[in-house]
Chains A and B, each alone.
Chain A
């Protein structure tokens, strides 16, 4: 039982670490590139406007999709590794 418990705790820690990493990227592209850092990216032209605008209307959405699939893929591996999957 003790082993099971520490195993489970280890799994949860790995999950929380993974979530944290993904959310850093999530916040960086949306709140960062698209909003707060837009003036810094103003020098990079994209189709008649700048990179910040592209992130706000396209780039962040594309990143979100990649993030969710990445998370699902990593979690399936974790489930298998810790023997906690279904």
Chain B
């Protein structure tokens, strides 16, 4: 059977499973559509949250960024897990006690203001659409590879499938489908990693293998990797970063973003009790950690495998790297996986010095003494995880499995986000603010139309994405963290916070973060409309657009407190509401208005 047929078989079988579950658990009422009837066990919920959470960014893109950035990109690992600590302690239990459907519900009620609700809706939509752009980028890579089409076609196909999938599902369908998707994606991620860890270190557990001895060279894997990348002009894989401020802020942005993203928060409305919301967050992190502890091993091992594929002489014990570097593979001898990925346009070869060999190195360093005239092989970071089994010569079914896993990751998150977007529009904007008498049927229709609109917009922007999947997603986190997280937290922890403070705070966080991002990445991410080039020299204090969310959040807090203390106290019934969300006693199921 050809690889193409195997891929189709695996992806097709996993789809049949999801669709089967979606039909079996089809949403009957609007309430089912949004929150799955409020009766999901913490472990089930944790698993669904993990699938919801681990998107194309985590599955497809993150290990590639770790591979290319090494230690400096550990921010993704810490940021996307550490956020669960603040979510579990600062938000989830209280929002569960509050017991409504959506994030704008809480902000609108707690700050007794439809203006606050509207600002929250705007923040939510901007953050979620940005997030979906990242998913489209990642899903596009996966589809282009397994259907063997161009990247652009891959994105459009992904858009169509995500749309059909989210529109007919709803939350209840999604909860159980996501459990299935979690299982598919974690198996797909782990199996190749175990194989590769065995090959390289003899240790079957990737998270330990990464820190053990590299069998072929007899030295620790990470030391070997440092030596190899160094010989090619790159910084050590484990090298420390120069700008610690940026690294701290980036990690913080991802953490507060995690706690501010509506599609994750919405998950904690679906457990039966407040105590379950706390456990749920813990279980979610356990299931997420299974992938996140493996990802750094995948990244480092893939980087080593890629380098030794191009420079076979570097694989074993190397006396002289200078010499090993002079003997890269001939282009016509390139492995099969390079050929297949070339068709997607995500790997490109350009023989600059016309020697028929592949020179892959950091061409910021001058290697003209080696006869090199520039880097000749460009490999898109986002293909690394998907190509990983092929790079390591694993059997065809492993490659099929990883295609199914990558698509599961992108689909589950995109569906969760689209649900958050559509409920913000149909429930918060139309039903609560514009027309409270709208029928259930029209509300569902509005929800589905807004899903369609959001996908079209995200797909269009995903064709020219502002970065690799994980980077685009990181921007979404910055936006959510700067706007929604502080408002939610102050709504619970400060009784004194009033509507004027919260509104000014959210606007300050949102606008400052967007301005900073658009300055470097283009207005609304449209390419070539940026005012400054996106390079560290141009960044204020070396703070990258990806890290600015943390600053935005600080501005949000500061302005909210300043405005709030200069204006009137919130009314008594609001202070009583804050009091009541703090104590678990008396939490019913999530209720409709």
List the A side residues contacting B88 at CB < 8 Å: 68, 71-72
Tell me the bound Cα distance from A7 to B252 in angstroms.
35
Main secondary structure of the interface of A (DSSP, over half): helix
Q: Residues 263-287 of chain B: 1 if any A CB is under 8 Å from the residue's CB, otherwise 0?
A: 0000000000111001101100110
Q: Residues 28-70 of chain A: 1 if any B CB is under 8 Å from the residue's CB, otherwise 0?
A: 0011001110110000001111101110111011101101110
Q: Indicate if the CB atoms of A85 and B584 lie closer than 8 Å.
A: yes
List the A side residues contacting B286 at CB < 8 Å: 65
B466: interface (CB < 8 Å): no
List the B side residues contacting A67 at CB < 8 Å: 85
Shortest A39–chain B CB gap in Å is 7
Q: Indicate if the CB atoms of B222 and A61 lie closer than 8 Å.
A: no
Which residue on A lies nearest to B582, using beta carbons?
A: A12
Which residue on B lies nearest to A75, using beta carbons?
A: B278
List the B side residues contacting A75 at CB < 8 Å: 93, 275, 278
Q: Indicate if the CB atoms of A31 and B248 lie closer than 8 Å.
A: yes
List the B side residues contacting A50 at CB < 8 Å: 238
| Option from A12, A22, A36, A52 in Cβ contact (under 8 Å) with B89 | A22
| Option from A36, A46, A54, A57 in Cβ contact (under 8 Å) with B248 | A36
Q: Indicate if the CB atoms of B585 and A22 lie closer than 8 Å.
A: no
Q: Residues 75-105 of chain B: 1 if any A CB is under 8 Å from the residue's CB, otherwise 0?
A: 0011001101110111001000000000000
B583: interface (CB < 8 Å): yes
Q: Indicate if the CB atoms of B71 and A86 lie closer than 8 Å.
A: no
| Option from B74, B292, B583 in Cβ contact (under 8 Å) with A11 | B583
B570: interface (CB < 8 Å): no
| Option from A12, A57, A64 in Cβ contact (under 8 Å) with B74 | A57
Quick one: given A8-B579, A19-B89, A64-B81, are A72 and B278 in contact (CB under 8 Å)?
yes
Q: Indicate if the CB atoms of B244 and A35 lie closer than 8 Å.
A: yes
| Option from A12, A34, A58, A72 in Cβ contact (under 8 Å) with B275 | A72
List the B side residues contacting A36 at CB < 8 Å: 244, 248
| Option from B71, B212, B220 in Cβ contact (under 8 Å) with A56 | B71
| Option from A39, A60, A65, A72 in Cβ contact (under 8 Å) with B78 | A60
B587: interface (CB < 8 Å): yes
Tell me the bound Cα distance from A53 to B77 in angstroms.
12
List the B side residues contacting A39 at CB < 8 Å: 240
Shortest A18–chain B CB gap in Å is 8
B219: interface (CB < 8 Å): yes
Q: Indicate if the CB atoms of B77 and A61 lie closer than 8 Å.
A: yes
Quick one: given A31-B251, A38-B240, A84-B585, are A64 and B275 in contact (CB under 8 Å)?
no
Q: Indicate if the CB atoms of A58 and B293 lie closer than 8 Å.
A: yes
Which residue on A lies nearest to B207, using beta carbons?
A: A58
List the B side residues contacting A57 at CB < 8 Å: 66, 71, 74, 77, 210, 296
| Option from B78, B222, B289 in Cβ contact (under 8 Å) with A49 | B222
Q: Indicate if the CB atoms of A46 and B289 lie closer than 8 Å.
A: no
* A-binding residues in B (CB < 8 A): 66, 71, 74, 77-78, 81-82, 84-86, 88-90, 93, 207, 210-212, 219-224, 226, 238, 240, 244, 247-248, 251-252, 273-275, 278-279, 281-282, 285-286, 289, 292-293, 296, 493, 579, 582-587
Q: Would you mind naming 15 contact pairs between A and B with Cβ atoms under 8 Å apart?
A: A12-B583, A23-B89, A36-B244, A38-B240, A47-B220, A48-B238, A49-B238, A56-B74, A57-B66, A60-B81, A64-B81, A65-B282, A65-B289, A69-B282, A85-B584
A-B pairs, 10 with minimum CB distance: A48-B220, A47-B211, A56-B74, A48-B222, A72-B278, A68-B282, A48-B223, A57-B296, A49-B238, A84-B583
* B-binding residues in A (CB < 8 A): 8, 11-12, 15-16, 19, 22-23, 26, 30-31, 34-36, 38-39, 46-50, 52-54, 56-58, 60-62, 64-65, 67-69, 71-72, 75-76, 79, 83-86
Extra A-B contacts (15), CB below 8 Å, given A48-B224, A48-B226, A57-B77 = A8-B579, A22-B89, A23-B86, A31-B248, A35-B251, A47-B220, A47-B222, A56-B71, A60-B77, A60-B78, A64-B289, A65-B285, A68-B88, A71-B278, A86-B274
